[in-house]
Amino acid sequence: MDCIFCGIAQGSVPAALAYEGERVLAFSDLNPQAPTHLLIIPRKHYASIQDVPAEEIGIVGEIVTVAQDLARERGIWPGGYRLVVNAGQEGGQTVGHLHVHLLAGRQMHWPPG
């Protein structure tokens, strides 16, 4: 498998890590869309959120918990932030590994476009 996020999770691809846990890690996005733009991923490969089996859906909760903790630690909360999950090509997903964007540090607008 040739997945850049799997490479980051395995330590063979360098990344600016913001969090490293047993099942989840977070790192800075290489093309930030906000002053704070982190990607939070499961270490295990799931092509998208659609591919997380029901018996493993708890990983999504772990990702959200990491986002909450990072927001508090970095002083983002209570100001505000956005979590984004893109699923599939038409949904804007560009890397085929489940990831959640944590965006903060500027006013977010709706609709996001």
Which residues are known to be catalytic? 99
**CA neighbours within 13 Å on the CB side: how many for 28?**
10
Q: Across the chain, which distance is largest between two alpha carbons, in Å?
A: 40
Those residues whose C-beta lies under 8 Å from the C-beta of residue 96, and which sit 6 or more positions away, are 3, 47, 48
**CB contact at 8 A, 100 and 83:** yes
CA distances to 66, 81, 90 from 24, in Å? 8, 20, 26
Q: Cβ atoms within 10 A of the Cβ of 100, count?
A: 21
